Structure 1
Amino acid sequence: METVQAAKEVNGMIAFTLVVPELQQLLLEEAGKAGIPVVDIMGPMIDGLSRLFQREPKREPGLVHRLDEDYFRRVEAIEFAVKYDDGRDPRGLLRADVILIGVSRTSKTPLSMYLAHKRLKVANVPLVPEVEPPEELFMIDNKKCIGLTIQPEQLNNIRRERLKALGLTSRANYANMERILQELEYAEKIMKRVGCPIVDVSNKAVEETANLILDILRKGGTAV
């Protein structure tokens, strides 16, 4: 082996992190023949962890780099979700893997962050009767868009609690039932215009809704 020969020429030693048993054995044998000292850096730790967790190591080269790639993709997706949250920049809709649309307090932001941890680039757009949706919303593939709706009574309760947390009166128009019905009706019209699947988030945890969305995406945008 070239490595063993190079170490022999400089009277050196070999420290290695090989995870494939056959390669480990080959290196140990060749180094032993040449009288080169060797140190297995990761072997004892892997063996110790294997005994502790009673699981066999995968012994696949390159897993660390694959984990790094996965980590950076997740970070990129999270940064994307933050940048294009709440319709801040409609240009992000054309670059997103998923676009969430719905009225205020339908969990658009929490869902965006949850899906970002699944390495999906998510943008979301609030639907408000007085504000025309960005034209980019009608340019995207409708299979990438998910409409979020909710039962009026539950939305009313959520908005009342939100106002209370902000120190505002629950009589504000934001929590007015007539206003809520108007918003939901408007949002439904926009969703039908886009032609996207619609998910009812009523009484659902973020994780549950996110799994529904992922299932829809896997099925190619089938409505639920």
Structure 2
Amino acid sequence: MNDSKEINFHLHLVSDSTAETVSSVARASIAQFDGVEIEEHTWPLVRTKAQVDKVLKGIRETGGFVMYTMADKHLRKHLKKNCEEMGIPCISAIARMITVLSEWMDKKTTFHKPGRQHELDEDYFNRVEAINFALTHDDGQSVWDLEEADVVLVGASRTSKSPTSMYLAYRGFRAANVPYVTGVPLPDIVHKLKNPLVVGLTISPDVLVQIRKNRLLSINEQKSTDYTDIERVKEELVQVRRVFTKNRWPVIDVTRRSVEETTANIIQMFEKRKYQREKGSK
């Protein structure tokens, strides 16, 4: 094997869930090799044949290596069959991954470096920086440099903006969130953002009222206010939806979604937007 050569390739991570497992396993495996640079493509929430076909289109355009975690055997078979036809390695995240990667890249692992997947590399520091960014740009803070964000979340109070921002940061994305308050215009800069992906978060009025009531109870506040009045909340959500529509921002309904699922959706949007921009610049 030629251990001195530099390796650069596209890595496609396909999952029927949030892609956390396949992403973690892939990074831990790649960390076992010196001189390897990858361009990661994450495909979360792939649960239908049509979605697999969309993934296959992306794989066909870039080539590379495919790793997956999918429970549906028919979808797995469809993915693997098409990858085989393209001559592209496609393995489960629980397969003998390091061995397969080693054979495919013609490169030995560096097993003499224990705990290597946890070393303080550039990815680690980028993640720390993303977390600091999310903390300093939470709940409408530091709006003057929102253009530096990867993702900006907008929504009414208690629509999971902050936890979603932090989860995005954990995944390495510089996320900020800005609250919508009835009668208070959003900062002008939010409407003019060019670089970040701006995403609107919404929720069912009934669920939002219950969440807000629980929040007030947690701080021993039991007075009835407009904050938890169902009719006021309905109007608030209608108003913020108009703002989303006016600015043509994509919208995610978080009513029945976990923070992890919402984050996976946003990352999917981000990657699609990034690909379209790169394709349009060529």
TM-score, length basis structure 2 = 0.55
For 1:85 and 1:178, the matched residues in 2 are separated by 28
Alignment identity in percent?
39
Q: What is the CA distance between 1:85 and its match in structure 2?
A: 0.6
Question: Which of 86-95 and 212-221 deviates more?
Answer: 212-221
For 1:122 and 1:153, the matched residues in 2 are separated by 28
Partner of 2:129: 76
RMSD: 3.0
Code of the aligned partner of 2:226: N
Secondary structure of the residue aligned to 1:219 is: helix
Q: What is the CA distance between 1:142 and its match in structure 2?
A: 8.0
Q: Within 5 Å, give how 1:115-154 maps onto structure 2.
A: 115-141=168-194, 144-154=197-207
2:152 to 99, 103, 106: 99
Partner of 1:49: none
Q: What is the CA distance between 1:186 and its match in structure 2?
A: 1.5
Q: Within 5 Å, give how 1:31-46 maps onto structure 2.
A: none
Distance 1:143 1:94, change over 3 A: closer
Code of the aligned partner of 1:86: D
Asked whether the equivalents of residues 149 and 196 of structure 2 are also in contact (C-alpha less than 8 Å), the reply is no
Code of the aligned partner of 1:106: T
For 2:112 and 2:182, the matched residues in 1 are separated by 55
Partner of 2:110: 59
Q: What is the CA distance between 1:143 and its match in structure 2?
A: 6.7
User: Which deviations, in whole Å up to 9, do the C-alpha atoms of 1:80-122 show, x marking residues without a partner?
Assistant: 0000111112113111100000000000000000000111101
Structure whose alpha-carbon radius of gyration is higher: 1
For 1:71 and 1:200, the matched residues in 2 are separated by 31
For 2:196 and 2:133, the matched residues in 1 are separated by 20
Secondary structure of the residue aligned to 1:99 is: strand
Asked whether the equivalents of residues 147 and 196 of structure 1 are also in contact (C-alpha less than 8 Å), the reply is yes
Q: Within 5 Å, give how 1:114-193 maps onto structure 2.
A: 114-141=167-194, 144-169=197-222, 171-193=224-246
User: Which deviations, in whole Å up to 9, do the C-alpha atoms of 1:163-218 show, x marking residues without a partner?
Assistant: 11111116222111122112111111111122110000002110011111111112
For 2:117 and 2:204, the matched residues in 1 are separated by 46
Whose strand fraction is larger, Structure 1's or Structure 2's? 2
For 1:80 and 1:61, the matched residues in 2 are separated by 35
Establish whether residue 109 from structure 1 lines up as the match of residue 159 from structure 2. no
Establish whether residue 219 from structure 1 lines up as the match of residue 269 from structure 2. no
For 2:201 and 2:118, the matched residues in 1 are separated by 37
TM-score, length basis structure 1 = 0.69
Asked whether the equivalents of residues 87 and 126 of structure 1 are also in contact (C-alpha less than 8 Å), the reply is yes
Secondary structure of the residue aligned to 1:148 is: strand
Q: What is the CA distance between 1:141 and its match in structure 2?
A: 2.7
Code of the aligned partner of 2:109: K
Structure 1 stretches of 4+ with a deviation exceeding 2 A read: 55-67
Partner of 1:197: 250
Asked whether the equivalents of residues 84 and 92 of structure 1 are also in contact (C-alpha less than 8 Å), the reply is no
Partner of 2:10: none
For 2:231 and 2:237, the matched residues in 1 are separated by 10
Q: What is the CA distance between 1:144 and its match in structure 2?
A: 0.6
